[in-house]
Every structure is written in structure tokens, then in C-alpha cells.
Structure 1
Amino acid sequence: MFLLLLFLSSLLVVYGTSVCPCETPELCRQIREERDFEVYVFDVGGKTWKSYNWSMVTTVAAFGKYDAELMCYAHSKGARVVLKGDLPLSYIVDQANRTAWITEKVNLAKSQFMDGINIDIEQAVETGSPEYYALTNLVKETTEAFHKEIPGSQVSFDVAWSPKCVDKRCYDYVTIAESCDLLFVMSYDEQSQIPGDCIAMANAPLHQTLKAYEDYLDLKIDPKKLVMGVPWYGYDYPCVNLSQEGICYIDKVPFRGAPCSDAAGQQKPYEWIMAQLSSSSSGRQWDDQQQAPYFYYKDETGQVHQVWYDDPQSICPKADFVKAIGLRGIGMWNGNILDYSDDPVAKQQTSRMWNALLGC
């Protein structure tokens, strides 16, 4: 009994106030090793992470409820698990609030044996506003605190698919990139602002997606700071009108100054899309201009829907681009939404989606 108490007290010294929940204490040690190539996974909860391709995964951003089992398993594979960090920007204009938030997150990461934090703000910011400077300072101060308190930890920041004030997110991208370890570029939801006709389009058209990386690099941001995020989901658009050419006109749903947006549709996971495709009226179609697949189906009321999504054929050239220009890596939103069942067709589809992250 004495030896057991001595062992537990030693753990408290090593790991602070929390007792390691893993089978061996070594699995609670934060991951410090840097990988040459990141495969960055967002996990939103549940246990589907058990079916991830762990031979590829380097970082998991835990956006669901804290799962000690996930942390232990990821560490056993040499992969990081990082916290989610978000809060109202109006709150952090005050330096004291900012410091308190950072201290809270560092302590939480320590108590949960996490390896860093992913800052996911996505709020509208005007250039030169108090929020603009507060956000920049938040990233810098968070990175400094995590690196000091958890040596080798990773601080990442999520940015829009383009640095050109998309969704009115006019951030100081250059300084933020210099301050943190990496930027996760959300190369999806690229129809969040539709300035022209309200029509359904690809979630992440190839040429538009790749051009935006040129815009990031034109800012002299180090390519090794950029991780490309690809979508493992699509959009289901009810067509208000369907032209003879197959153009799906959608409801006018404004967003942050644009008259139309992808909010006229519904986000659908890849698992749902594959099931719906098998019973669609059109079968899989391919758009050469946007380099993306789509299909049509009719709902129970007879209304025509157009579904745009990404699959291995549309993801592969993006992954090839990542390697060709030397980006830090690739990732997805999100890891949970493939079909991880034992169905043979589903297993093949899921395997191909994971493999597509490494290119054609």
C-alpha cells in the first residue's frame, strides 16, 4: 500500500494535479517530435477515431468532449492531441481577459496531458480595429505561454480559404503566421459569400482553392506554416429552379455583405453523400471547370436537389499541390464523417478518402 501511494504521489509531481489515465505513465508525456509532413485531423467526438488511419495522423484537434482514451491512443502512435480554443473577440480586447483565458487553456492542456491548442475564431474583424490587434496579440501570447509551459507544444490558428478578407475576416495574417506554429487553411465553404447569381457550386473548386495559396505565399508567409484543409463533406442544395443546362438556382441567403451563400444548402457528411448517390436520379457527374463531382436527386415532395461534394478525384490534385509547393501538410474537416462500418463498399470508400490525402 505504501509503495502504491508513493507511486501515485510521484505521478502527481510529474503530471501536476492530474493522475495519468493511460495504461503507462509514458503515454501522458506530451509529444514533442516535429513531423516533416502533417496530417491534421479534426475530431468532433464519439469513438470513430478508433478507425482512423493512424499510420498517417500526426495531430488531432479535439473539438468534442475530452476523451482520455483518444489522448492515450494518439500518444501511443506518436500523434499530438490539441485543445480547441475559441472565445468572443470583444472579450479579449482587454489584456487581463486575454491573459486569464490563456492561463486557463494552458492549465487545461496540462491537466489533460494535451500537446497544444488550435485557435478557431472565424469572427468578422475590421482591419485596424481593437479586435484586429487583440486577435493578433492573442495568438502571439498564447504561443509564447504554451511553448514556455509545455515545451514542444503546437499552437495552430484556423484561417479562411483566402487571405483577402473572406467573410470579413480581415486578420493580420502575416504577423499571426509568424507568431504561431502553423495556419490551418480551411479550403472549404468557398461559397460562403456568392457575389453573383445565386447558384449551387462546388464547395472547394480546384483552381480557386489553389490560387488562394498563391495569395498566402505572396504575403511572404512561410509555406511550412500552411496546412491545407480539405472537406470530407458537401452541400445539399434544394433547387428553386433548374435550368436546361443543369444550373441549380438556390434561395437568396445573405452572409456578411454577400447577397447569397452556401447557407441555402445543408452540409452533409461523406457517409450520407455516398448513400444518397447510390439512389440518385443522375448518378455521379463531374464538372470540368470546378474539378468537382455532383449529382441530382428528388426528395419526397418531388423537389430537385443538387449535391456538390469532394471525393478522391477532387482531393488528389490538391494533395499533389501541397507536396509540390512544400506546404506543411494536409488535413480535413472532419475525421468522423466517413463510413467506418464493416460494409465492404464503405470500407473501400473510406480507405480511398484517407489515401487521397497523400496524393494521386
Structure 2
Amino acid sequence: MQIHVVQKGQTLYRISQTYGVSVDTIAAANEMTPSQSLVIGQALVIPIVGSFYWVQPGESLYMIARKLGLDLHNLASANGLTLYQPLPVGFRLYIPPTPRTQAEVNAYVEPRGTDVSPILIQSSKEAAPHLTYLAPFSFRIKRDGTLQPPPLDDLRAITSQHSVTLMMVVTNLENGQFSAELGHIFLTDETIQNRLLQTIKTTAQQYGFKDIHFDIEHLLPADREAYTRFLQKAAALIHQEGYLMSTALAPKTSAAQAGEWYSAHDYKAHGQIADFVIIMTYEWGYSGGPAMAVSPIGPVRKVLEYAVSEMPASKVIMGQNLYGYDWTLPYVKGGAFAKAVSPQAAIELARKYNAQILYDYTAQAPHFNYWDEAGKEHTVWFEDARSIQAKFRLLKELGLRGISYWKLGLKFPQNWLLLEENFKVVKRS
């Protein structure tokens, strides 16, 4: 699979000629119409076997192999070159495909209201062939130890048709917010806690959930050990039923990291108790904050490197956003929230306002600015083929269990193509 970044003056036809792939094939892979104009800086995926690399000034075959994480001898052989043969600038190297590694893939889906919208149903159908788990968000704990379920509608049938494991997400959400008070109640009141665990067991049996996933956030720091004890108790019951038990963790870089989102999450304990954990490595750039990449590669790496120092890498699933944000400038703390946009919608905005897409190589994320009809300046940070491929490389480098997407319903067709290019998705059902 080739990732091509559109340059000034390029058309879909010229790009198709470069790679020997039809215009219609490229358009279909990127879910665009053949007649649509291209945006300077837009990343396209070109469905070919392997990829090409053009030599930059000062580069040697050894440097390129190291940069791309390739075996030097295999790269030389694929291109009929000797190991230390000088390469002219602009020389096109063929990069053969690498073997796919196994990975588990989860995606959350968040129905709102009393049913699952047609958009979420369709998005779940499209994603299901690429998933190990599908996680409807969420079963909300009530103060009496019972659960408020989300609408499920056709989601169970979709998982059954595509051998996807249904994940039961249990949260301490109350009135739309994670509640420390609610958490304290079920973590410290044994009667309510026992009722909750029995309700979880009964609900899992009723709906066919095979993984129980605790996303318990914003707990009191003093409830850290109580949460660990709860997970130990829950795991014993859940494993007795033959189910998996997993947790969601805030993105920490040390055991001593303080803060209302971090203190009660003990990485080492979760790594010992849970079958796997999903680490929420996103929202550095968030809707209420200043504009920046949602999941910049440097901070993501630091969190994951800390995680694998506390638990086996085979238990760690990296969180990944399927969205970006459109901020109105200037940023004012406490002011208007940024609007969430899909990668496809971000490209449409750039096309509409004739904006050039730039790429931040430090954050490994695309971005652009534009001015709207009211004369307001905006900045957009989002995901594209380059940024997601950078995350896939990190996942493989660290030997992680897989990747988890928040959340379905936002179009990002390139992600699923590159996912299948890089990984053989594990199916458990």
C-alpha cells in the first residue's frame, strides 16, 4: 500500500499514471469521486502491492533501510542493488510488503438516546470484518448496584455475523459525567458491590457478552486500593464464567502521576489482574483545550513505554482516535468548544476553503488553517494515512496486543485499508 501526498498541480489521473492504478480504484480506496479536486498536502492511499520510496538528498540504502525499519539485504535484493551502491536523488526504490503481524482490534460505538442510529449501524457493519471486539458504550452503574444499558438493536447480530466478540463496557457515568462519588459507593459498599457483580454476570449471559470491560474513571485517589480489590473480585467471578476481563486506563507516564484522572489507576495491578488493558492514548488536543494534535506520537510513545514497563506488552492495547477537531481562533480558555470532525470531513473543509494541508513531523499529524464566511480563523488537527501508519509502526515496535478505536461513526476509510495491510486481525468468536 502506497501513501501518496498530493503536490501542487497533481490530478488523480496523473497520480494513477505514476503508479499504474486506475483513477476509479484510487478514488474507491479513498472514498471520493473521480471528479473531485485534490487538496495540496492531502494523503491518498494507493492500493498496490508493496510501496515506493524516492531517495532524498544525502540518503544511502543503509539509511533508508534503517529509517523504514527494513532489512538492508532484502531491500537491496528487491531493487537489484549492491549494499553500498550510491543512489541518485529521486531514485525510486521498491519496498516489498512485510509480513503481517497478529493484532487484536477493538472499536467503541456510542449510541445516543433510545436506539442505535442508522449511521452507527452502518459504521459497525463496515468495521466488523476488521474487529476482534465491538464495545457498545456503555452500561452505566446505578447507585443501587444495577445497570442502565445502552441500546443495542442490531449490534449483536452484526458481531455474530462477523465473528466479533461483544464487549460489555461498564462505566461510572452519571448525568453524562464520570462520578467519583458513584465510584466510591460501589467500591466501598459490599452489598451494592455484590449486586453489581451479579447484575454484570446476568447481563453478560443474557446478551452474549464475552469480555467485561471496566471503564471506571475520575475516582477519588483514596479509592485506588479499593478499585484494585474490586477488580480482583470481579476477575474471579468473570473468569469463572469463562469470560475475559479488561479495563480502560488513563494515559500515565509514571506510577506517581497525580491528578483526578490518574491517581486511582494502578498500571501494575491492572496488568496483573486484567486479561488486557486499553490505554486511552488520545485527547492531548481536546475540544475544550488549545489546538494541537489529538494523539501526538511523542506523548503516546511515552505512555506506552511506561505501560510496558509495568505489564506485559501482550496485555497492552493502544487507544486511537478516529476523529480530529476544528477550533475557532483565538483560543479562549472556557470559551467555545472545538467541533469534532472525521478525517473525511477535515479534507472536505480544506477543499471547500482552499486550504493547504500541512504535516507536523514531530507530532506525526496533519493540520491546516482556514477562514470561514464570518471572517473567523479556524485550525484543524486530524488523522490521515501518514499519522495512522506512524501509530501502527509504534504498535509493532513495542510488540503491543493491538489497537482500540474511539469511536465508530466517523469516516476514515484509509485506516481500515492500512490496518489490514499491517495486521492479521485476531477473531475470537
TM-score (norm 1): 0.73
Counterparts of 1:139 and 1:105, CA distance in 2: 13
One-letter code aligned to 1:122: E
1:237 is displaced (CA, Å) by 1.3
1:96 is displaced (CA, Å) by 2.2
User: Residue 44 of structure 1 corresponds to which residue in structure 2?
Assistant: 110
- SS state of the match for residue 404, structure 2? strand
Q: Is 1:167–1:192's contact at 8 Å kept on the other side of the alignment? A: no
Decide whether aligned partners of structure 1 residues 208 and 178 sit closer, same or farther in structure 2, where only a CA change above 3 A counts.
Answer: same
Structure 2 residue corresponding to 1:102, chosen from 197, 212, 219: 197
User: Residue 244 of structure 2 corresponds to which residue in structure 1?
Assistant: 154
User: Residue 238 of structure 1 corresponds to which residue in structure 2?
Assistant: 328
Structure 1 residue corresponding to 2:276, chosen from 178, 182, 203: 182
User: Residue 115 of structure 1 corresponds to which residue in structure 2?
Assistant: 210
Structure 1 residue corresponding to 2:132, chosen from 49, 58, 61: 58
Structure 2 residue corresponding to 1:288, chosen from 361, 369, 372: 361
One-letter code aligned to 1:147: H
1:224 is displaced (CA, Å) by 0.8
Q: Is 2:324–2:383's contact at 8 Å kept on the other side of the alignment? A: yes
Decide whether aligned partners of structure 1 residues 193 and 266 sit closer, same or farther in structure 2, where only a CA change above 3 A counts.
Answer: closer
Q: Is 2:308–2:316's contact at 8 Å kept on the other side of the alignment? A: no
Deviation string 1:45-89 (CA, Å, 9 cap, x unpaired) is 331245324332110111263435322331232210111201231
Larger radius of gyration: 2
Decide whether aligned partners of structure 1 residues 291 and 42 sit closer, same or farther in structure 2, where only a CA change above 3 A counts.
Answer: same
Decide whether aligned partners of structure 1 residues 55 and 105 sit closer, same or farther in structure 2, where only a CA change above 3 A counts.
Answer: same
Q: Is 2:210–2:244's contact at 8 Å kept on the other side of the alignment? A: yes
Counterparts of 2:162 and 2:125, CA distance in 1: 13
Tell whether 2:419 aligns with 1:328: no
- Identical residues among aligned pairs (%): 22
The count of aligned residue pairs is 289
Q: Indicate the larger mover: 302-311 or 282-291.
A: 282-291
1:228 is displaced (CA, Å) by 0.8
Structure 2 residue corresponding to 1:200, chosen from 278, 285, 291: 291
1:134 is displaced (CA, Å) by 2.1
Counterparts of 1:356 and 1:125, CA distance in 2: 40
1:292 is displaced (CA, Å) by 0.6
Decide whether aligned partners of structure 1 residues 137 and 278 sit closer, same or farther in structure 2, where only a CA change above 3 A counts.
Answer: farther
Structure 2 residue corresponding to 1:213, chosen from 290, 296, 304: 304
Deviation string 1:119-138 (CA, Å, 9 cap, x unpaired) is 11221442xx1x21222122
Deviation string 1:333-354 (CA, Å, 9 cap, x unpaired) is 112211xxxxxxxxxxx43121
Tell whether 2:318 aligns with 1:252: no
TM-score (norm 2): 0.62
User: Residue 306 of structure 1 corresponds to which residue in structure 2?
Assistant: 379
Counterparts of 1:178 and 1:217, CA distance in 2: 12
Q: Is 2:108–2:407's contact at 8 Å kept on the other side of the alignment? A: yes
Counterparts of 2:253 and 2:133, CA distance in 1: 24
- Structure 1 outlier segments of 4+, above 6 Å: none
Structure 2 residue corresponding to 1:351, chosen from 406, 413, 423: 413
Counterparts of 2:106 and 2:126, CA distance in 1: 12
User: Residue 165 of structure 2 corresponds to which residue in structure 1?
Assistant: 80
Tell whether 2:207 aligns with 1:145: no
User: Residue 426 of structure 2 corresponds to which residue in structure 1?
Assistant: none
Q: Structure 2: which 5+ runs fail to align?
A: 1-100, 112-116, 139-149, 173-181, 423-429
Q: Is 1:316–1:359's contact at 8 Å kept on the other side of the alignment? A: no
1:253 is displaced (CA, Å) by 3.8
Deviation string 1:130-182 (CA, Å, 9 cap, x unpaired) is x2122212222222212212x1x222211123244375321212112211111
1:199 is displaced (CA, Å) by 4.2
Counterparts of 1:280 and 1:100, CA distance in 2: 55
Q: Structure 1: which 5+ runs fail to align?
A: 1-34, 241-249, 255-262, 339-349
Counterparts of 1:193 and 1:48, CA distance in 2: 26
Counterparts of 2:249 and 2:225, CA distance in 1: 16
1:193 is displaced (CA, Å) by 11
